[in-house]
Structures are given as structure tokens and as C-alpha cells.
Structure 1
């Protein structure tokens, strides 16, 4: 809405799941074979190197600050995107495409050849949200047991990777 752009989001039909992203995952899996992974950032480099031509894949290392709180009800235009209201009516997983227009209205299709339909729910009038709140205030701690097990694995991990494992936030006992 802020940029006056309309978006069509399409969902794959069962049995027709080949898509452009499949070749990306395949290239990354091939590059991962026989590679040692000691740190999460190692996946970043493997992903980058999985394609050379026409250029490397673009990668971004994210941390807890990347994730936003989209689940806050006060930010929702619709309380549900279920296309029906009662038992036997279509469900969310029956949707094949969603159209987001630049005014905030959302429409759907249950098959690609049908016309766009409006959701049966009323639209909540909300202001354009320019910035969502962060989902997390700090790094998410792991359990003490997982932390302990990772510490034990340091005996087979290069010394220069140990500080990453030492700095993992964890619960006490």
C-alpha cells in the first residue's frame, strides 16, 4: 500500500510442485556434499558458491533482529483468510492464489481459472504500518543440555570456531 503496488501470490497445486527454487536447492545440496560445516556462516558461503554463472547467489546472514512481529492482531486487515465460514466450506489450504491490491483489499482464487473472490470477513481499517516491532529482544537461548552437548563437540571442531559455541546464550541447568 505504501508503495502503491499490487501483488499476486500463487500457491502450487498438489502434484505440480516443480518450481524455479528447486534448482537452487539442488545446487546448494550438491555443493554441500563432502563439505565440513562448523558454523552457521559456513552455510552462507556454500550457498554463495553454489552458482558461479551468471553470478553467485545473493546471500544475507540474518540474526534475531531480522524477525518482526507480524502476529500482532492490531496489524491485521483480516482476522482470517479462510474463504468459507462454516463446515464444508473451502479452507485456507484450498486457496490457489491471493491478490493484494494497493488499497489493502485482499481477494482469492480457489483455482487459477476462476475470478477473484472477496473474503467473507470484514476488512479492519488500519493505518499503513511502516515498521513492525521486533519479534525478539535478544538472542534466543538454547537449553542447557544442548549447550553442554555442543561444548562436548568442540573436541572435533577447529579451535577458531570455539568462541561461537562458547558465546551461545543458554538456560542455566
Structure 2
């Protein structure tokens, strides 16, 4: 589940999907935010303030920073987007409170059961609106934005507390590390990377999209699949069929994160050995 809560109206949107549909990274968050702005946000809104936590893998990253600039300058849907990153432990975000509305004791066997539960979890000010995510919704935003912006972030993202994309700065993002200090700015694209104003234009309401991120169902780890086969005996027939047909990795196949670690050990074997020796010695 990925949640977007509209503070001005109290509306709350949940993007629901299981791990065979998509992962939990910057491309997914960018896809959901772009869909929200283009499809679900009130067309009269021209300035958007976003409050989110500082999770580097999902919210506070170079892909999201470039996306808000893209929304302002390429789609021209908004005139200003401001991202706010509250101090850890003092955020009190509405998205966290929304999860408290969900009945955690409900008997749930299938992803569709969770969707039904979220739809009835809240009545006021309005029920939760659940979007069932399919693979067409999740796009390769990182790869797409690499073609239009610098691939590497020119400033440190971790200290950033506020970030702004304004329509009057076509090549710049402004940011600051406090909520009351001065604003810094960085150029984030090459001259001419924006579409020319006198060039061919798409019809009103149309825009280009990146390629679909995942063409086929994503396999789950083999060990997780084995555990599910043991647990499914406590479920009904429909759920047992669902878990039996899940795509899975081959035995011994590792995730990309683990593969990356193995590659590091191959490229830098001596460094890894020294680090492991130091760790054992310190213990």
C-alpha cells in the first residue's frame, strides 16, 4: 500500500499492489505521484505542497526531485511544487494515522481482501479511495528522467528540509537545509533540455510517458514461496490456488541487492577480507 493524503479536503488515496506487480522504489513512488497529480488532483490546483518522510529509497531521492521539476516544466500541470521533509520523530503525518483506521485483526487471505478492508476502514470525512495498481501504471521514471536531466544529483539530498520547483526557473531546483534559512539553488539540466515553446505540442491534456517498468509478473524469493506453501493450508480454496500459482525465483537465485554484494566481493576481494577480519577482531 502507498498512501497519498490530501490535507485540504481530507481525501485519502491508497495504491494497492502485491510484490508480483511492482517493487517499493523511486520508480513506483514517482508513478503514483504522477498519476495522482495528472488524474486525481483537482484541476484548479496550481501549487502543491508535499509532506513526506525522508526515506531515501522512496521519497527523498534524485528521481523524485527531478519528477517535481518535470511536472512543472514539461507537463506544465502545476506552477509550483514544494517538498517538505519533517524532522524525524516530529512528523505526525496523516498517512501514518490513516493506517490506524484499518482493522488489523480482520481475517485476510488475498490481496483483494485487503482492498475491501481499506475501502470500508473509514467513513468520515470520506472513505478511502483505493487504486488497484497494474503494471501499466508503474513506469521507468529514473531511466526516463536520466535523458532529460543530470544523472547525478549535484547537491547533497540528506540535509534537505525543503525543496521547490518553480515555473520561473526552468533549469533550477531550490532547496534549503532548515525551515527558515536562505535558499540555495542548483542547475539540474542542460540548456535546451526543455521542449521548445514554439515546437510541436501535444493536444490539451496529453503528455508522454516512460516505458512500463515491468512487462511480466515479478517472481518472489523461492524461500518465501516455500513458506507460503506451508501457510496456505490454513486458507480457503481460492487462496490456496492463488499462492500455488505465484511466480517464484529458482532455488538458490538471489535478489539484486544480494547480487550486488557478491559483485563487490569479486571486484574488491582483499578489501572485503580485511573488513571481515576487522569485524571479527572487534567482536
TM-score normalised to the size of structure 2?
0.51
Aligned equivalents of 2:158 and 2:176: distance in 1? Answer: 11
Q: Is residue 111 of structure 1 aligned with residue 178 of structure 2?
A: yes
Report the counterpart of residue 221 of structure 2 in structure 1. Answer: 143
Between Structure 1 and Structure 2, the one with more strand by share is: 2
Q: Choose which of 23, 31, 40 in structure 1 pairs with 2:97.
A: 23
Q: Is residue 66 of structure 1 aligned with residue 140 of structure 2?
A: no
Q: Choose which of 147, 162, 165 in structure 1 pairs with 2:240.
A: 162
Change beyond 3 A, Cα 1:4–1:44? closer
Aligned equivalents of 1:41 and 1:20: distance in 2? Answer: 24
Encode CA deviations 1:47-88: one digit per residue, 9 max, x unaligned. Answer: 2222112221011121343322122163352334453xxxxx
Aligned equivalents of 2:250 and 2:133: distance in 1? Answer: 26
Consecutive unaligned residues in structure 1, runs of 5 or more:
84-90
Q: What pairs with 1:1-173 in structure 2 (closer than 5 Å)?
A: 1=73, 2-5=75-78, 6-28=80-102, 31-32=103-104, 34-72=105-143, 74-83=146-155, 91-102=156-167, 103-119=170-186, 123-124=189-190, 125-127=192-194, 130-173=208-251
Alignment check: 8 A CA contact 2:221 2:249 kept: yes
Change beyond 3 A, Cα 1:9–1:38? same
Aligned equivalents of 1:152 and 1:56: distance in 2? Answer: 35
Q: Tell me how far 1:117 sits from its aligned partner.
A: 1.5
Q: Report SS of the residue matched to 2:158.
A: helix
Alignment check: 8 A CA contact 2:176 2:183 kept: yes
Q: Tell me how far 1:96 sits from its aligned partner.
A: 0.6
CA root-mean-square deviation: 2.3
Q: Greater CA deviation, 160-169 or 53-62? A: 160-169
Report the counterpart of residue 274 of structure 2 in structure 1. Answer: none
Aligned equivalents of 1:101 and 1:75: distance in 2? Answer: 21
Aligned equivalents of 1:11 and 1:143: distance in 2? Answer: 33
Alignment check: 8 A CA contact 1:78 1:122 kept: yes
TM-score normalised to the size of structure 1?
0.79
Q: Greater CA deviation, 142-151 or 2-11? A: 142-151
Encode CA deviations 1:82-140: one digit per residue, 9 max, x unaligned. Answer: 53xxxxxxx31110111112335311111121233112x55235356720112211111
Consecutive unaligned residues in structure 2, runs of 5 or more:
1-72, 196-206, 252-283
**How many residues matched?**
162
Alignment check: 8 A CA contact 1:98 1:107 kept: yes
